[in-house]
Amino acid sequence: MGQDQEHQDDSMVMIETNLDDMSGEWMGYVMDRLFETGAKDAFYTPIYMKKNRPAQKLSVLAKEQDLATILDLLFKETTTLGVRYYPVTCHRLERQFLKVRLPLGEVSVKVGRRDGVVVQIAPEYEECAMIARNSGIPLKQVFNQVQQAFRNQYPEWEVNKKA
């Protein structure tokens, strides 16, 4: 049962580069490698560049101390000749993981609190997906069952309530 306090983190950096001369096929690989190398988040945004080029902007959210490592990876694994970045502040909720028992298995639920008040209740995707895959039950139904079971097992954890 992990726990993180709500906090504000000023030591983050957003790293961006525009990719207009690289195969989309390689972009999935780059994303995997970024997470392995310490990126906190990574995503692609479709953009339109000069000379009628559809392209992708790659955005990587990382700790400032990991900047050099991420740049290394970007220069090795993408085709870019230049990367830009700027500091960002991250505000993260207090997070707590609770276990929910279902007939089909146990699932973690992430609870997010702001100023002590529950605002998010999020079943873990990977665990729900595994149950869905093994049982043949639709994933959306597994999520619903987890949320229902959560309410029964943890009635005190209710959205909009101090808990």
- Binders of a copy of itself in range 75-94 (CB under 8 A): 75-93
> Considering beta carbons, is residue 101 or 139 the nearer one to a copy of itself?
139
Strand 53-63, strand 94-102: pairing: unpaired
Q: Is 11 in the site for a copy of itself (CB under 8 A)?
A: no
For residues 124-143, which are near a copy of itself according to CB under 8 A? 125, 129, 132, 137-141, 143
Given a contact cutoff of 8 angstroms between Cβ atoms, the answer to whether 117 and 103 are in contact is no
- State the minimum distance, in angstroms, from the CB of residue 99 to a copy of itself: 18
> Considering beta carbons, is residue 72 or 106 the nearer one to a copy of itself?
72
3-state secondary structure of 38: coil
Site size with a copy of itself, rule: CB under 8 A: 80
Q: Is 100 in the site for a copy of itself (CB under 8 A)?
A: no
Identity of residue 47: I
Quick one: residue 26, left, alpha or beta (phi over 0 = left, psi -120 to 50 = alpha)? alpha
- State the minimum distance, in angstroms, from the CB of residue 101 to a copy of itself: 18
3-state secondary structure of 100: strand
State residue 146 phi and psi, 5-degree precision.
-65, -45
- State the minimum distance, in angstroms, from the CB of residue 153 to a copy of itself: 14
- d(C-alpha 80, C-alpha 129), whole Å: 35
x-or-dash string of contact with a copy of itself, 24-53, rule CB under 8 A = xxxxxxxxx--x-----xxxxxxxxxxxxx
